[in-house]
Amino acid sequence: METPSSRRDQIYHYIQDKTQQLIHNKAIDHHGIDALSCAIDLKLDRANVSKELNYLWRDGRIIKIQGRPVYYLSYQTLSDNFPNCYIPSIIGKNDSLSNYLKEKQKVEDHPIHNEIDPLDSLIGSDGSLGDLILKAKSAISYPPYGLHTLIRGNHGVGKTRFALSMFKYAVKKGYLQKESPFCTLYCRNYSEDPALFAAALLGEEKNSPNKKSTGLLERSCGGVLLLEQIECLNTSSLNLLSSIINQGYYTHLGGSETYPIECMMIGTVQKGDSLALACIEESIPIVIDLLDLEDRGMYEKLQIILDLFSKEAKSIGHPLHVHKDIITCFAVMVYKNNITQLSNEIKIACSRAFLDMEQNPYSNTVYLNFHHLSSSLLASNQSDVKAKPEILSMLSTVKSNFLLFGKNETFQIHSILEINSEYMFNSKIEQFIAELNIDIEQIDNMEKYVHKNIEYLKKCEKLQLRAIKSHINPIVYQVVITHLLHFPKYKSLLTHEQLLYGILIRITHILKKYEGSFAQDTPSSGIHTLYPEEFSIGSNIFNYFNSIYNLRIQNKEVDLFASYLALSAQQLRQTNVAILVVCHGLSIASQMVNFVKATITEDLHIDAIDFREGLALDDILELTCTKAQALNQGVGVLVCCDMEPLTSLGDFIAQQTGIPSKTIKSISLSQLLYLAQKSLRGINILDSFEEESTAIPSSANHKIENQSFISKVIQKIISKTTSFIDTQRAVDVLMFCLQKILQDLSIPYNDEIATKYLIHCVNMLERVIRNQPWEYIRIHAFIENNTTIFHIVEKNLEYASNSFDIVIPSSEIAYITEIFIAAT
């Protein structure tokens, strides 16, 4: 009789073979193995095949491509064929697997490119470590043995690893032989005994040749001697070390013969530990200062976190399954002991998750959950959330909610963040340059076009701005800036040159296009009456180009320049778009706004209106106009609502008050955080908020249509079972969570599921507040068998946890998960 295990293996091997065929035929996009085809080919029951496919997916052995039908592919086969790529566990319906893959390069075809540079492969080599790596390379390559180097930094920043990377770089480049020694002297062991330190460093001469001891300077000949924690040495030892470095030779203890130093010495030291270190710092020519983890920027911090998870997966020999929210927890925490402390936190969490996996004989994947995190990590996540929007924005390049770290992979980090960022960087630059080269007649709304480009420029980082500037004609740059210097009103733009890059590129394109020819003139669009001063400046600049390049530029091009100049100047003195949140429920909108205010400490123009039961729609309309007039800073109001009939509030405000207004519907907390951050960037274009809202993770859009039914459930059932909790507030919060859960699970709303959910969850809140949660038998097995649904429920109940300042245990979440399993 066929067992489930043998059937599962049969299905898995079938998927492996089919995946390999699809890769060979270059047909992996929008293709795969569906349950029906698998059942037919293997002559198995379709229901059993679907069950086994879901198990294999939860175990991380196959990936899922959403759509109709749902396709599956072998994760290991994809990983073997595309070893340098991040492969998500789920590919969205409108996504493509090829976005994550690149062709496998064979070592024999490209031997040089496949060699990893030990220094350039360090995280931050193109960022915070860039100049330091250049220093390190110059030091290690200097003949004959390299220049002595001091690496300074606080505890845990990676001083030892940096030194080891320098050594590996020297070996790889041939500056040192492959068999060259790398010796380490731990100075802390000799802090109280200078004689013992001298013996370890220099070696000793005894009366008998058999009693001679070899010092580390001699054992390091032709290689590198690493002196760890030099600050631990006393003054006598520091002076000895300084003297040896300055002289370039040493003598064995008890001997008289001198020996040259034939190795490179690298010392590590804590920053500012002792004045006595001054003698060492003066003796060593190269000093490398490593930054603290928090000073290296969030992008590099995320890279380091992902790299550590990848190494843990490789170390334990099992795939590691981590939700992006947990990655965010690690990124939010401030680590006083830098990478060392971060690494320990990750090891602690992984060890707890591994123990859970060991207790489940049916699983081969380590699933990291919130209850595996340390109490200090969870406390930090609750108290410091300012960086969360930035982290979520960076992780948004990963389209799956989960990251799967394979047990045999070493290059995932490059695929997860760096390739995505490089792709986005290059494509945005090319798109922007092309946008500035369009025909002036194709621009329907000149101000909107200018706003769009200025918005992009304001978000550009230094590298992006440098790439854009490289496309600008230097003469154009000089002429425009020279003209603007005559107008005090625009001198401030010289310190914000990125605001002018768009028009400078535009003029560069015009000179290339019309050089030696005359453009057919067209009537002005009327900008000269709206911005007369800016139009006059533009006319003078273009007349200058007309004279030296023998061309005649269209009036519309002058209009475009005037618009850029005027709107760029406005950006420097502008105020922010105001945000008004309006949601159904007793306090949903208020709690969301309070959370945003607590998260973002800058001066936000944001307010809330709670559309409570019994409040008439006319009252809401009148109140929104009043609030909008109070909030408006002159550039408009963004109305964020949950569902009908509130979705037309923006239009109503604009009609009644004349205040520019736009509406974002189905608002979620994460979306509101994103919009608030965006408003603080000084980007005042309401259209841009509306256009980008589709790219932000939105909250549930299922309508809770039968509010009267819910009211009856509250009155007749729930209120009679509760003891002390505010029933209406609990229902408001839980309904908000329900909408998000239903959306993530693609389950339509119905009164039956809402009733079961509310009755159970309101009482659950009271139990948890009283610290009397229910136990759940075989909780780990349940989570393992229902991982996806469990995590969706767990994540979306965080809002309830935050609202009541509690931690909902996994046992209670399991009971709630059962409600939704029955509905799927």
pLDDT tens for 177-235 read: 889 999 999 998 898 888 999 999 998 886 555 556 788 999 999 999 999 999 888 88
**pLDDT category, 697, cuts 50, 70, 90?**
very low
- Give the list of residues 6+ apart from residue 337 with CB closer than 8 angstroms, or none: 155, 156
pLDDT of residue 698: 40
Q: Strand, coil or helix: what is 800?
A: helix
More confident residue, 445 or 383: 445
pTM of the prediction? 0.49
pLDDT of residue 104: 37
Q: In one letter, which amino acid is 114?
A: N
Q: Residue 586: is its pLDDT beyond 60? A: yes
Residue 552's beta-bridge partner residues?
518
**pLDDT category, 660, cuts 50, 70, 90?**
confident
pLDDT of residue 580: 94
Residue 69 Cα to chain centre, angstroms: 31
Q: Mean of the pLDDT values across residues 234-252? A: 90
As a whole number, the mean pLDDT across the chain is 78
Q: Residue 684: is its pLDDT beyond 50? A: no
Q: Dihedral, CA atoms, 616, 622, 627, 632, nearest 10 degrees?
A: 140
pLDDT tens for 395-414 read: 766 656 677 787 655 434 44
In 3D space, the residue among 636, 660, 658, 661 whose CA is nearest the CA of residue 648 turns out to be: 661
Q: Residue 816: is its pLDDT beyond 90? A: yes
Residue with tokens 């029906």: 36
Tell me which long-range contacts 513-516 makes (C-beta under 8 A, separation of at least 24): 514/549, 514/551, 514/552, 514/553, 515/549, 515/550, 515/551, 516/549, 516/550, 516/551
pLDDT of residue 345: 92
More confident residue, 422 or 255: 255
DSSP class of residue 467 equals H
Q: Mean of the pLDDT values across residues 502-507? A: 79
pLDDT of residue 165: 93
Query: Around 771, how many Cα atoms within 13 Å sit in the side-chain half-sphere?
Result: 0
Tokens encoding 815? 């009971």
pLDDT of residue 412: 46
Q: Say which range, 164-173, 321-330, 650-659, 675-684, has the weakest mean pLDDT.
A: 675-684
Q: How far apart are the first and last CA of the chain?
A: 30
Q: Residue 621: is its pLDDT beyond 90? A: no
The H-or-E segment that residue 321 falls in is strand 320-323
Tokens encoding 454? 């200025």
State how far the Cα of 224 lies from the Cα of 258, in Å rounded to an integer: 20
- Asked if residue 350 lies in contact with residue 316, where contact means CB atoms within 8 angstroms, the answer is yes
Q: Mean of the pLDDT values across residues 298-316? A: 87
**pLDDT category, 265, cuts 50, 70, 90?**
very high
* Alpha-carbon distances of 64 from 34, 90, 324, 354, 757, rounded to whole Å: 10, 5, 18, 24, 29
**pLDDT category, 694, cuts 50, 70, 90?**
very low
State how far the Cα of 587 lies from the Cα of 694, in Å rounded to an integer: 26
pLDDT tens for 84-132 read: 566 777 776 666 777 767 543 333 333 333 456 788 888 888 778 887 8
Among 260-269, 578-587, 730-739, 802-811, top mean pLDDT goes to 260-269
State how far the Cα of 250 lies from the Cα of 241, in Å rounded to an integer: 10
More confident residue, 740 or 515: 740
Q: Residue 423: is its pLDDT beyond 80? A: no
211 burial type by CB count under 10 A (0-12 exposed, 13-18 middle, 19+ buried): exposed
Q: Mean of the pLDDT values across residues 148-175? A: 92
Q: In one letter, which amino acid is 762?
A: V
Tokens encoding 215? 């010092």
Sign of CA dihedral 557, 558, 559, 563: positive
pLDDT of residue 566: 81
**pLDDT category, 2, cuts 50, 70, 90?**
low
Tokens encoding 117? 């540079």
pLDDT of residue 363: 67
Omega of the bond prior to 144 within 30 degrees of 0, cis? yes
Q: Mean of the pLDDT values across residues 777-791? A: 83
Residue with tokens 């509306």: 690
- Asked if residue 454 lies in contact with residue 568, where contact means CB atoms within 8 angstroms, the answer is yes
Q: Say which range, 33-47, 51-65, 492-506, has the weakest mean pLDDT.
A: 492-506
More confident residue, 390 or 301: 301
State how far the Cα of 814 lies from the Cα of 676, in Å rounded to an integer: 34
DSSP codes joined into one string, 111-161 = HHHHSPPTTTTSTTTTTTTHHHHHHHHHHHTSTTT---EEEE--TTS-HHH
Q: Residue 795: is its pLDDT beyond 70? A: yes
Residue with tokens 């208020």: 590
DSSP class of residue 93 equals T
In 3D space, the residue among 143, 217, 131 whose CA is nearest the CA of residue 181 turns out to be: 217
Q: What percent of the chain has pLDDT over 90?
A: 13
Q: Mean of the pLDDT values across residues 492-499? A: 64
In 3D space, the residue among 329, 343, 344, 323 whose CA is nearest the CA of residue 404 turns out to be: 323
* Alpha-carbon distances of 461 from 387, 456, 458, rounded to whole Å: 18, 10, 8
Query: Around 447, how many Cα atoms within 13 Å sit in the side-chain half-sphere?
Result: 12
- Asked if residue 579 lies in contact with residue 679, where contact means CB atoms within 8 angstroms, the answer is yes
In 3D space, the residue among 252, 267, 246 whose CA is nearest the CA of residue 199 turns out to be: 252
Q: Say which range, 275-279, 345-349, 355-359, 733-737, has the weakest mean pLDDT.
A: 275-279
Query: Around 739, how many Cα atoms within 13 Å sit in the side-chain half-sphere?
Result: 24
State how far the Cα of 811 lies from the Cα of 817, in Å rounded to an integer: 10
Q: In one letter, which amino acid is 121?
A: S
In 3D space, the residue among 567, 568, 589, 569 whose CA is nearest the CA of residue 579 turns out to be: 589
State how far the Cα of 577 lies from the Cα of 682, in Å rounded to an integer: 8
Q: Say which range, 75-79, 267-271, 462-466, 714-718, has the weakest mean pLDDT.
A: 462-466
State how far the Cα of 815 lies from the Cα of 446, in Å rounded to an integer: 57
In 587-653, beta strands by DSSP E: 606-611, 637-641
In 3D space, the residue among 235, 324, 224, 238 whose CA is nearest the CA of residue 283 turns out to be: 238
**pLDDT category, 579, cuts 50, 70, 90?**
very high
In 3D space, the residue among 103, 102, 96 whose CA is nearest the CA of residue 31 turns out to be: 96
- Asked if residue 650 lies in contact with residue 661, where contact means CB atoms within 8 angstroms, the answer is yes
- Asked if residue 332 lies in contact with residue 381, where contact means CB atoms within 8 angstroms, the answer is yes
What percent of the chain is helix, strand and coil (3-state, nearest 5)?
60, 10, 30
Residue 711 Cα to chain centre, angstroms: 41
pLDDT tens for 122-141 read: 888 877 888 788 889 988 98
Residue with tokens 């030779």: 249
Q: In one letter, which amino acid is 700?
A: A
DSSP class of residue 97 equals G
**pLDDT category, 427, cuts 50, 70, 90?**
very low
Q: Mean of the pLDDT values across residues 49-62? A: 80
Tokens encoding 754? 């809402």
**pLDDT category, 619, cuts 50, 70, 90?**
confident
- Pairing mode, strands 249-251 and 258-260: antiparallel
DSSP codes joined into one string, 162-219 = HHHHHHHHHHHHTSS-TT--EEEEEGGGGTT-HHHHHHHHHEE--SSGGG-EE-HHHH
State how far the Cα of 796 lies from the Cα of 707, in Å rounded to an integer: 21
Q: Residue 263: is its pLDDT beyond 90? A: yes
Q: Residue 549: is its pLDDT beyond 60? A: yes
Q: Mean of the pLDDT values across residues 498-519? A: 71
Tokens encoding 439? 């025909």
pLDDT tens for 308-349 read: 998 888 888 888 888 888 888 898 888 999 999 999 999 999
Q: Dihedral, CA atoms, 311, 313, 317, 319, nearest 10 degrees?
A: -150
